[in-house]
Chain A
Amino acid sequence: MIIEIDNISKSYGDQKVIENFSLQIESEHSYVITGESGSGKTTLLRILLGLESADEGRISLLGDYKYPYLNAGVVFQEDRLLEGFSAVENVAMASRRMAKETAREELEKLLPADQLDKPVRELSGGMKRRVAIVRACSISSDILILDEPFTGLDNGNKEKVIQYIREKQGNNPLVITSHSLEGLEFCRNISIK
């Protein structure tokens, strides 16, 4: 699949957040979008997901794509988990086709098994982040879009998470926003200002 981002701009009031940004996202490629706080990284991902529209420019899904929307596994800037439900339920509810056993197997790759049935409100920030990452990576999707996925993770867990993401990425494109490039050397660095 190819996603063509063509010269998009976005403003909030008088504040120009994205200005004439272009990028071609292709299968099997990984991209890390870097930039300072407020540089429009999250806004770019939201436009890509169709949650916001660009003021100018356009985003096209090139080729014979099966859906009218982007079928993506997404980690938002916040965890956006169902606080009263367990990690297993949070992952399983994201896809109609995913059994709880599958969700558990996926979660066990990043989290201790004894934490998976507790309500996620009882988990630490880093654990919640890993649940959100597993939810994004374990559903059947055509692209992974991860907004600051390593927030709250220590170096050891970050390394494990990167390995997990790469394993789950398969042939799909991967788009990550991050303040730091550490551990993301395999990605093409796209700077946004």
Chain B
Amino acid sequence: MKKKILIIAMWLLIWQLLSLIIHNKILLVGPVETIQSLITLSQNPEFWQSVIASAMRIGLGFILGALFGIFMAALAYQKSLVRDFLEPLVAALKAIPVASFVIIVLIWIGNINLSIVISFLIVFPIMYLNTLEGLNSTDKKLLEMAHVYRIGTFRKIRYIYLPEIYFFLVSGVKLSIGMAWKSGVAAEVIGQPLGTIGNGLYRAKIYLETGDLFAWTLVIIILSWLFEKVFLLLIKAPVLFGIIKTAPCDNDSEGGARN
């Protein structure tokens, strides 16, 4: 921890020194000016409205994308037709650049809910693929045991599937939260809905307020980090309360099925 703090302090120092050397507040501002800009911005109620508006929209897009991704993965796991049907869509969602999505969605629905849709479209394939991979890696021998003992769906989910897909879900959440923020803010910068972080970033660019630009970027980083912590805590809650117990499986270690 001490080492980590020291490394961060070193980078902040390098950043501050670079800004002093360049000595041009349009090209680069240092951490001190960034914090000063952030304090100035935060004294304006519009700043907080923008933060809340963007966080709510991107958060909603993330939640909807994650839930839909998990739900569709569960369906695709059970029905190969669903999996085959979704395969080209998921491949397209992964390949299409965010900017193209933003422009298309902007034409379709306007700029107000743009970041919700964009975050959703970015999060859905990540959560879908991660969940499906987790489900596919479920121990078939445990599922066979559950079948023989006629174990019901709820208990199968709790005792077999959730421990297996848990780490895939955590990794999906970690990856997609950062992506949701990056794409959601990019959508706001392009779509320009008023009273959002993206709009703040755009205005900073127009007026060459590099301090504000850095301050907004810092806000995005902090919010993305906070979101990651909150959602990971939510997803870890069943493990902390002992509802799900994760463990590596070694059921294959004692020979095959045939004798």
Contacts and interface: CB of A to CB of B under 8 A. Distances in A.
A93 B148 contact: no
A149 to B, nearest CB: 13
Given A74-B149, A93-B155, A84 B245 contact: yes
A78 B252 contact: yes
A83 B253 CA distance: 13
Interface stretch (A19-27, A32-40, A56-64, A165-173): A32-40
A164 interface: no
25 contacts: A12-B258, A17-B258, A38-B258, A39-B259, A41-B259, A42-B258, A49-B148, A51-B144, A71-B150, A74-B145, A76-B144, A77-B255, A77-B259, A78-B141, A78-B255, A82-B247, A83-B251, A84-B163, A85-B247, A93-B151, A93-B155, A96-B155, A121-B247, A121-B248, A139-B149
Contacts of B16: none
B88 interface: no
A46 B149 contact: no
Which of A49, A81, A89 counts the most chain B CB atoms within 10 A?
A: A81
A177 B247 contact: no
Interface in B208-259: 245-259
Contacts of B256: 77
Interface of B: 141-142, 144-145, 147-152, 155, 159-160, 163, 245-259
Contact of B257 (A46, A82, A96, A148): A46
Contacts of B150: 69, 71
A177 B259 contact: yes
Given A78-B252, A82-B163, A43 B258 contact: yes
Given A42-B258, A46-B257, A82 B149 contact: no
Interface string A108-130: 00000000000101000000000
A151 B22 CA distance: 74
A79 B245 CA distance: 18
B83 to A, nearest CB: 24
